[in-house]
Amino acid sequence: KAGVTQTPRYLIKTRGQQVTLSCSPISGHRSVSWYQQTPGQGLQFLFEYFSETQRNKGNFPGRFSGRQFSNSRSEMNVSTLELGDSALYLCASSLTTGSGDGYTFGSGTRLTVV
Amino acid sequence: SQKIEQNSEALNIQEGKTATLTCNYTNYSPAYLQWYRQDPGRGPVFLLLIRENEKEKRKERLKVTFDTTLKQSLFHITASQPADSATYLCALPGYSSASKIIFGSGTRLSIRP
């Protein structure tokens, strides 16, 4: 079956712009989580969606937002980009939420802010 | 707040030996613990889940232990191969919410031929 698809794979944006990243989970998976990965901070939790509802949010400023659609596809948006937002953004899907089901991650979107 | 600690130094192992990675956590008792593998530029890949009532779990050449008294998990790769070289991450459910999975910083493992 198809894995988790993230688009685009690479993105270069200028400071102050905004960006939208997309994630299509594995068919049938209803939980989607987003993570930011940088060399210094590792994997940092951004938010988790289940059945179109945000269940959890990490410690990121309000510039980071997301949503989930009825088909479980999810998008995250970062407004007013800063240089420090340069990172690998990873989306992970799982069948349920909170049960310990292992995540299936996408290959990520590499965002570079210049 | 909860903390997850993995050995931040890279681990270099001779091919054929057993690699042992450590994950320590503090401040609470998670219901389970997960291990992932991550290759450069790729997303992590789920390897194993071990629950609090399980002492040990095996999958092929992988073995995970979970000591809830020591608050520690050990991840073993037996008969290691150069293809096992990667970063290994442990992950726990969040203290405030089980659906918020928190990852350790990972340990980079290198297997030399």
Confidence of residue A90 (pLDDT cuts 50, 70, 90): very high
Q: Name every residue whose Cβ is closer than 8 Å to that of residue B49 and which is 6 or more positions away in sequence.
A: A100, A102, B32, B33, B34, B57
Neighbours of B48 (CB within 10 A): 19
Flag if A31 and B100 touch (Cβ within 8 Å): no
CA distance B95 to B10: 28
**E strand map for A15-108:** 19-24, 31-38, 42-50, 53-57, 64-68, 74-78, 87-94, 104-105
Q: Name every residue whose Cβ is closer than 8 Å to that of residue B53 and which is 6 or more positions away in sequence.
A: none
CA distance B10 to chain A (A): 14
Q: What is the pLDDT of residue A71?
A: 94
Q: What is the pLDDT of residue A1?
A: 65
Kindly tell me if the per-residue pLDDT of A108 is higher than 70. Answer: yes
**E strand map for chain B:** 3-6, 11-14, 19-26, 32-38, 45-51, 56-59, 62-67, 72-77, 86-93, 101-103, 107-112
pLDDT in tens, A69-88: 999 999 999 999 999 999 99
Query: Of chain B residues 15-74, which have a CB less than 8 A from chain A?
Result: 31-32, 34, 36, 41-47, 49, 51
What would the two tokens of residue A5 be?
A: 């698809």
Q: Which residues of B touch A89 (CB under 8 A)?
A: none
Kindly tell me if the per-residue pLDDT of B103 is higher than 80. Answer: yes
Cis peptide bond upstream of A39, omega within 30: no
Kindly tell me if the per-residue pLDDT of A67 is higher than 70. Answer: yes
Kindly tell me if the per-residue pLDDT of B99 is higher than 90. Answer: no
pLDDT in tens, B70-86: 999 999 999 999 999 99
Kindly tell me if the per-residue pLDDT of B20 is higher than 80. Answer: yes
**Mean pLDDT, residues B20-31 taken together:** 91
Nearest chain A alpha carbon to B105: A42
pLDDT in tens, A19-63: 999 999 999 999 999 999 998 888 999 999 999 999 989 999 999
Q: Let me know: does A42 contact A18? Beta carbons within 8 Å.
A: no
Is A60 in CB contact (< 8 Å) with chain B? no
More confident residue, B25 or A96: B25
Q: What is the pLDDT of residue A97?
A: 77
Confidence of residue B27 (pLDDT cuts 50, 70, 90): confident
